Structure 1
Amino acid sequence: MEDCIFCRIAAGDIPAQVVYQDDDVVAFRDTNPQAPVHVLVIPREHVPGPLALGDDYAALAGKLVAAAAQVARQEDIADTGYRLVMNEGRQAQQSVFHVHLHVLGGRAMHWPPG
């Protein structure tokens, strides 16, 4: 989708601080980090949000989580703990309508998160 910023990042048209990529996903540092480590993991394919990750995208959803775990290991937060967050819709503060998984770590997380 040509007007989607995440599609353009995945295609390499917009620069980003990429920390991991493979044939299906790209992970890059958030430009407005909410924790010392804040990386976004996105599929290269445009999927508008978590609700669209139905049966047809079960494998892709698994790849997003696996890539997030790889990022946590690379960023040295796997042993201390990290949070994975996906937002769906405006009330949940989804601002880019391309499914993405936030990997947050490097500090103590509080509960409840919202």
Structure 2
Amino acid sequence: MAGEPEADCLFCKIVAGEVPATVVRETDTVVAFQDINPQAPCHVLVIPKAHYRDAASLATADPALAADVLRETGAVATQLKVDASGYRVVFNTGTGAGQTVFHAHAHVLGGRGLEWPPG
């Protein structure tokens, strides 16, 4: 069922405290942690604690939670001091777009110049 933890989901395991992560922010609904393979000096993942496969299913099922995720991307950028210089928020959806963990998550990238288009 959407929103329920999935036993084989890496991010659900991080939420449950079963897999370690370097947490930078946490609320009742969202966890933000350092990416283990950073693509920029600031590369943090912001995830809902509830399991949704991707950003579209999250937004459809729980718009308020989707808003929490997006709001926390800004809070992460401010906390890590990349808000003034600029940062990018990316939601990859599907394997063709580079999604490798099928639990909705936003990448917050900053701390260096970010070319457009990204690739």
TM bucket, shorter chain:
over 0.9
Task: Give the alignment partner of residue 29 of structure 1, picking from 31, 34, 37.
Answer: 34
Q: CA deviation at 1:87?
A: 0.5
Task: Give the alignment partner of residue 52 of structure 1, picking from 47, 57, 76.
Answer: 57
Runs (4+) of structure 1 moved beyond 3 Å? none
Query: How many Å separate the matches in 2 of 1:61 and 1:83?
Result: 17
Q: CA deviation at 1:73?
A: 0.6
Query: How many Å separate the matches in 1 of 2:61 and 2:32?
Result: 22
**CA-atom RMSD, angstroms?**
0.8
Task: Give the alignment partner of residue 39 of structure 1, picking from 38, 44, 51.
Answer: 44
Aligned pairs for 1:86-105 (under 5 A) are: 86-105=91-110
Query: How many Å separate the matches in 1 of 2:59 and 2:44?
Result: 24
Secondary structure at the aligned position of 2:102 is classed as: coil
Task: Give the alignment partner of residue 23 of structure 2, picking from 18, 21, 27.
Answer: 18
Amino acid at match of 1:42: I
TM-score, normalised by the number of residues in structure 1: 0.97
Identity of aligned residues (%): 51
Matched, 1:111 2:116: yes
Amino acid at match of 2:55: P
Q: CA deviation at 1:2?
A: 1.1
Aligned length: 114
Unaligned runs of 5+ in 2: 1-5
TM-score, normalised by the number of residues in structure 2: 0.93
Q: CA deviation at 1:54?
A: 3.8
Query: How many Å separate the matches in 2 of 1:97 and 1:53?
Result: 12
Q: CA deviation at 1:11?
A: 1.1
Unaligned runs of 5+ in 1: none
Q: Partner residue of 2:3?
A: none
